[in-house]
Amino acid sequence: MNLIIGIILQQQGGFEQLLSTIVPFLLIILVFYFLILRPQQKRQKERQKLLESVKKGDKVISTGGIHGVVEGVEDKSVLVKIDDNVKVKMEKSAISVIMGVTDRTPDKK
């Protein structure tokens, strides 16, 4: 019984101790969000805009390094002409850069 009373008495003032323990973790989470997650979300939105802006006639480079000209655009894929009589259907997500249009290339920060 004395042990239980001793434990209860030791826990008085525990709120301040709890607060001093939780605040640093909350600060770390906030720093993590603003330094890592927020910029990543911004880059992801810019990339999505880039992929949505692809149109027929754009010169593109795929993530695999294939250069070509967009011949057709579908919902999630594009038809890319890479040489005379050679057309390849690829996913829009495989497009790395749209050539010659500086405002439509993603930032690499």
Rounded Cα–Cα distance for residues 53 and 17 (Å): 54
- Each residue's pLDDT, cut to its tens digit, for the chain (109 residues) gives 666 655 655 655 566 776 778 888 899 999 999 999 999 999 999 999 989 999 999 999 999 999 999 999 999 999 999 999 999 999 999 999 998 665 555 555 5
CB atoms within 10 A of CB 50: 19
Q: Does this model's pTM top 0.85?
A: no
Whether the Cβ atoms of residue 57 and residue 70 lie closer than 8 Å to each other = yes
- For residue 11, give the 3-state DSSP assignment: coil
What are the extents of the domains in the chain?
A: 1-52, 56-101
Largest CA distance in the chain: 90
